């Protein structure tokens, strides 16, 4: 995967297996990996992972597990057995749950990168206050990120804009996975805390997750190649 040490995962936010296959066929594993989230995995199941693997792509399985520790442990073991490159859990699940997730991954012959989601990029200060979180959003992001590191996970999912205060306090080899990446000429959609690819790289992202800016274009591979050029 060519990425100038910065990996790109294209988010297949599709409702059907056929749509996912068609977009996959337009991409090139030399330039990106592929993220499979809840929408697609619910529609197509594990067989879509096999299809993407057979095309040569790394897979980020983005199911954000958040449940009782034993359930998450078993789910992470099963997800790891699918051969995915990376999977995630919600850091809000707490230390015991994240430690159990790590146990599940360690029980698999395949040991993917395991990362914790801090605060979704669809949230902002107002939306957090609506569900009872009154402190500044950065307070929660910082605490969750440090807890992910303390539990021995491999990285976090966060907004690129959070890296200004997170990167100095996290382990050096930590994966810093940033969704909410938008090109300057594309809409924010339901994302609140967004960033351009260039800004995300400057801030220290190690992996970019880019969805609709690429997949909604008639020529997704050309868009992907343009992004790679911007990141050189």
pLDDT in tens, 129-150: 999 999 999 999 999 999 999 9
pLDDT at 4: 43
Tell me which residue of 170, 143, 165 sits closest to 155, measured CA to CA.
170
Which one of the listed residues 58, 64, 73, 102 is annotated catalytic?
Answer: 64
CB atoms within 10 A of CB 38: 11
pLDDT category of residue 3 using cuts at 50, 70 and 90: very low
CB proximity list for 62: less than 8 A, separation 6 or greater: 11, 35, 36, 37, 38, 87, 88, 209
pLDDT category of residue 184 using cuts at 50, 70 and 90: low
Q: Where are the alpha helices (DSSP H) in 1-107?
A: 17-26, 38-44, 47-54, 69-81, 95-106
Helix (H, G, I), strand (E, B) or coil at 101: helix
Domains annotated on the chain, with CATH: 7-230 (3.20.20.70)
- pTM value > 0.85: yes
Cα separation of 73 and 58, whole Å?
Answer: 22
Q: At what angle are helices 95-106 and 137-150 packed, to 10 degrees?
A: 40
In the residue annotation, 64 being an active-site residue is answered as yes
pLDDT at 183: 84
pLDDT at 189: 46
Q: Are 140 and 179 in contact (CB under 8 A)?
A: no
| Sign, CA torsion 144/150/153/159 | positive
């Amino acid at each position: 995967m060519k990425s100038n040490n910065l990996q790109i995962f294209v988010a297949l936010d599709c409702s059907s297996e056929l749509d996912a296959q068609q977009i996959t066929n337009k991409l090139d594993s030399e330039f990106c990996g592929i993220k499979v989230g809840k929408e697609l995995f619910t529609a197509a199941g594990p067989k879509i992972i096999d299809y993407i693997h057979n095309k040569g792509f790394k897979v980020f399985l983005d199911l954000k597990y958040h449940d009782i520790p034993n359930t998450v442990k078993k789910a992470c073991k099963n997800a790891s057995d699918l051969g995915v490159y990376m999977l995630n859990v919600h850091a809000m699940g707490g230390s015991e749950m994240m430690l159990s997730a790590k146990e599940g991954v360690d029980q698999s012959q395949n040991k993917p990168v395991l990362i914790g989601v801090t605060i979704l990029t669809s949230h902002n200060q107002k939306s957090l206050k609506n569900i009872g979180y009154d402190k500044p959003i950065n307070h929660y992001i910082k605490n969750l990120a440090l807890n992910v590191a303390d539990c021995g996970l491999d990285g976090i999912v966060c907004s690129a804009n959070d890296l200004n205060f997170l990167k100095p306090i996290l382990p050096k080899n930590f994966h810093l996975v940033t969704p909410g990446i938008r090109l300057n000429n594309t809409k924010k959609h339901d994302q609140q805390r967004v960033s351009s690819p260039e800004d995300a790289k400057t801030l220290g992202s190690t992996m970019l997750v880019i969805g609709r800016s690429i997949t909604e274009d008639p020529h997704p591979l050309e868009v992907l190649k343009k992004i790679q050029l911007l990141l050189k």
